[in-house]
A and B are shown apart, each in its own frame.
Chain A
């Protein structure tokens, strides 16, 4: 695994808010084709890490390479070569409220490619269908959708350009368990079909077990460990132990027992201790 070129490479990341450091020398690699789950307590800096990687926040120190491009220095969100290759699903969906779902999906296409209107309408339709929304959702405005449907619609927009890299910020937060389960399966299926690399922030232990190839734990301002869920369960750190061996962690592990997804024994990188 070591010879693979990482698709995201974070080195020595430092993020401070005033005097308080959120990240202090954080290192992280994400390899092509994997689903990496990022976990950590509330306020551990998961979202800040994601915002740093996608160029929405300028870190105080460190280097971040995404898709072979250095994020720091230049404003990476101004680089069409990068922004068309990634898709971002924000926690609240962040759909444009003045546009219908189908038009939201078309925004990236219109921005980058001179596709015919007919083709764009068709693409929007099949993307909407792929994320499991009914056709009736296409001409609806985001305010007319339920929370779960809004997440799916936002996922359709994130996938509009067939990105290589997908960022998901707590995709299952606020969904009922059945919807969350459906969303997990959807992400796994899409990642397999479209050969996506997924950077996934989550609190959801079931999600970790069900779909993540590898999990990175943020604590003490660093990635303290990364590996499969099974490896992390044996990792000696108070927070990690409490997280995976606590009642919820055990329940999620039991739920994933019958070999659901590759979370337990799929392809993975060896346990890295940072």
Chain B
């Protein structure tokens, strides 16, 4: 699991505080190696220097040593720990002249001397990677099954709402329609308009080589209505709304709001999922149609400005070359995409558990899965409709 602040980043850091000047602390050893005198400030700031100094001073002297602390100005637990370590590793050593504070700290750190591992034990590389691969496969299967059962759950919930005669929550649906549909008009319109221009421009560059610029209109019209308008809208909505659904439901899940609903007897699927699925199923065809129109307008503006094809000719040619079936094929895919995007977003939201990090992971996964499934389904549709003879 990735975190924003990980081990690798931690180990990259240079210390903020430079080693202190030499006068802050000092260690000296008598020639026979029996008496060690520590002076100055035995604190964490000087610990690095002190450790090195002690290492070189005591190198070659293995026996017990008397440690004189009478000239220590200040000592903290790290200083006490370094002294404690000497006492522990050299049985028979003793401390002389320590202040009451030093004595107290020495007792405390000695009591706390219980080594522990810093990191969990890492398995060998091959084993670890195999375990990861296996876990990934299992998770993939589980996600697929859980996704399918969630689709079923949504359908059952819709059926129950319909059968019980209580109907669906119209207000909730309207609010969702505004959020996923109306509020997306600006960005989806702009995107489609620009895509239309790019499509026409790229098409024109290639077709010019054959003197067939007029076919730019076929390209823009057919591709937009049948594929691009709906696909790009679906991708944009997946990015906008699947993530929003996952985050909304995920934070409710964290705050135990979903559990609260269940205990009250309110079905979370009916309250949270149905309105979102219905809203997106209704809005995506509308958005897709709107996006296609704007892409065609973008393409038209380009052909007018760059290829000198007047708008009237452009529209007339569009009507000749784009069969009505293209529009219907395109629009028939939209409700399916809308439903699946909403279901994936909500499903990932319900999968949130534990901590806030999980909301981020699930939100990302909602977007990735929704876009992936949309593209896979689009491929299926393409094969399906061409098998039916619509080319």
List residues of chain A with CB within 8 A of the CB of B43. Answer: 162
Partner of A123, one of B78, B108, B119: B78
Are A116 and B116 in touch, CB under 8 angstroms? Answer: no
List residues of chain A with CB within 8 A of the CB of B386. Answer: none
Q: Does B265 contact A (CB under 8 A)?
A: no
Partner of B81, one of A111, A112, A126: A126
Q: Does A106 contact B (CB under 8 A)?
A: yes
Are A107 and B101 in touch, CB under 8 angstroms? Answer: no
Partner of B17, one of A84, A100, A128, A129: A84
Partner of A126, one of B10, B109, B121, B355: B109
Q: Does B310 contact A (CB under 8 A)?
A: no
Q: Does B16 contact A (CB under 8 A)?
A: yes
Are A115 and B47 in touch, CB under 8 angstroms? Answer: yes
> Within the assembled complex, what's the spacing in Å between the Cα atoms of A114 and B357?
31
Partner of A98, one of B7, B15, B44: B7
| Chain A, range 61-102, C-beta contacts under 8 Å to B | 80, 84, 96-100, 102
Are A113 and B47 in touch, CB under 8 angstroms? Answer: yes
Partner of A143, one of B51, B108, B115, B354: B354
> Within the assembled complex, what's the spacing in Å between the Cα atoms of A96 and B117?
18
> Within the assembled complex, what's the spacing in Å between the Cα atoms of A115 and B50?
10
Are B116 and A110 in touch, CB under 8 angstroms? Answer: no
Q: Does A35 contact B (CB under 8 A)?
A: no
> Within the assembled complex, what's the spacing in Å between the Cα atoms of A116 and B15?
12
List residues of chain B with CB within 8 A of the CB of A162. Answer: 43-44, 76-78
List residues of chain B with CB within 8 A of the CB of A119. Answer: 47-48, 51, 82
The interface centre, meaning the residue of A109, A135, A162, A194 with most chain B CB atoms within 10 A of its CB, is A162
Are A102 and B6 in touch, CB under 8 angstroms? Answer: no
List residues of chain A with CB within 8 A of the CB of B115. Answer: 122, 125, 135
Q: How many A-B residue pairs have CB under 8 A?
A: 128
Q: Does A174 contact B (CB under 8 A)?
A: no
List residues of chain B with CB within 8 A of the CB of A98. Answer: 1-7
A212 to nearest B CB, angstroms?
A: 22
Say which size band chain B's interface belongs to: 35 or more
> Within the assembled complex, what's the spacing in Å between the Cα atoms of A119 and B112?
15
A153 to nearest B CB, angstroms?
A: 12
For residue B108, which residue of chain A has the nearest CB? A193
Q: Does B118 contact A (CB under 8 A)?
A: yes
List residues of chain B with CB within 8 A of the CB of A128. Answer: 116
> Within the assembled complex, what's the spacing in Å between the Cα atoms of A100 and B245?
32
For residue B19, which residue of chain A has the nearest CB? A114
A79 to nearest B CB, angstroms?
A: 10
Q: Does B120 contact A (CB under 8 A)?
A: yes
> Within the assembled complex, what's the spacing in Å between the Cα atoms of A183 and B113?
20
Take A126-B81, A162-B77 as given contacts and tell me if A116 and B120 are in contact as well, using a CB distance cutoff of 8 Å: no
The interface centre, meaning the residue of A97, A100, A106, A121 with most chain B CB atoms within 10 A of its CB, is A97
A123 to nearest B CB, angstroms?
A: 6
Are B116 and A139 in touch, CB under 8 angstroms? Answer: yes
List residues of chain A with CB within 8 A of the CB of B132. Answer: none
> Within the assembled complex, what's the spacing in Å between the Cα atoms of A135 and B111?
13
Take A97-B3, A98-B6, A143-B355 as given contacts and tell me if A103 and B44 are in contact as well, using a CB distance cutoff of 8 Å: no
Are A139 and B119 in touch, CB under 8 angstroms? Answer: yes
Interface of B is mostly: loop
Mark each residue of chain B from 91 to 112: 1 if its CB lies under 8 Å from any CB of chain A, else 0.
0000000000100110011011
For residue A189, which residue of chain B has the nearest CB? B108
Are B10 and A103 in touch, CB under 8 angstroms? Answer: yes
> Within the assembled complex, what's the spacing in Å between the Cα atoms of A125 and B43?
17
Take A130-B112, A193-B108 as given contacts and tell me if A138 and B81 are in contact as well, using a CB distance cutoff of 8 Å: no
> Within the assembled complex, what's the spacing in Å between the Cα atoms of A144 and B379?
43
Q: Does A161 contact B (CB under 8 A)?
A: yes
Q: Does A195 contact B (CB under 8 A)?
A: yes
List residues of chain A with CB within 8 A of the CB of B117. Answer: 102, 135, 138-139
Are B48 and A125 in touch, CB under 8 angstroms? Answer: no
> Within the assembled complex, what's the spacing in Å between the Cα atoms of A205 and B121?
42
> Within the assembled complex, what's the spacing in Å between the Cα atoms of A224 and B16?
40
Are B77 and A97 in touch, CB under 8 angstroms? Answer: no
Are A129 and B114 in touch, CB under 8 angstroms? Answer: yes
Q: Does A236 contact B (CB under 8 A)?
A: no
The interface centre, meaning the residue of A80, A129, A137 with most chain B CB atoms within 10 A of its CB, is A129
> Within the assembled complex, what's the spacing in Å between the Cα atoms of A169 and B2?
28
Take A98-B1, A129-B113, A162-B44 as given contacts and tell me if A139 and B118 are in contact as well, using a CB distance cutoff of 8 Å: yes
List residues of chain A with CB within 8 A of the CB of B109. Answer: 126, 130
List residues of chain B with CB within 8 A of the CB of A111. Answer: 13, 15-16
List residues of chain A with CB within 8 A of the CB of B355. Answer: 97, 143
> Within the assembled complex, what's the spacing in Å between the Cα atoms of A115 and B51?
9
List residues of chain B with CB within 8 A of the CB of A109. Answer: 44
| Chain B, range 41-100, C-beta contacts under 8 Å to A | 43-45, 47-48, 51, 76-78, 81-82, 85
B83 to nearest A CB, angstroms?
A: 13
Q: Does A165 contact B (CB under 8 A)?
A: no
The interface centre, meaning the residue of A84, A123, A126 with most chain B CB atoms within 10 A of its CB, is A126
Are B44 and A100 in touch, CB under 8 angstroms? Answer: no
A sample of 9 cross-chain residue pairs with beta-carbon separation below 8 angstroms, ordered by A number, consists of A102-B116, A102-B117, A112-B15, A114-B48, A115-B47, A126-B113, A129-B112, A136-B116, A140-B120
3 tightest CB-CB pairs across the interface, nearest first? A98-B3, A138-B116, A135-B116
Q: Which residues in B have some Cβ–Cβ distance to A below 8 Å? A: 1-7, 10-11, 13, 15-17, 19, 43-45, 47-48, 51, 76-78, 81-82, 85, 101, 104-105, 108-109, 111-121, 354-355, 357
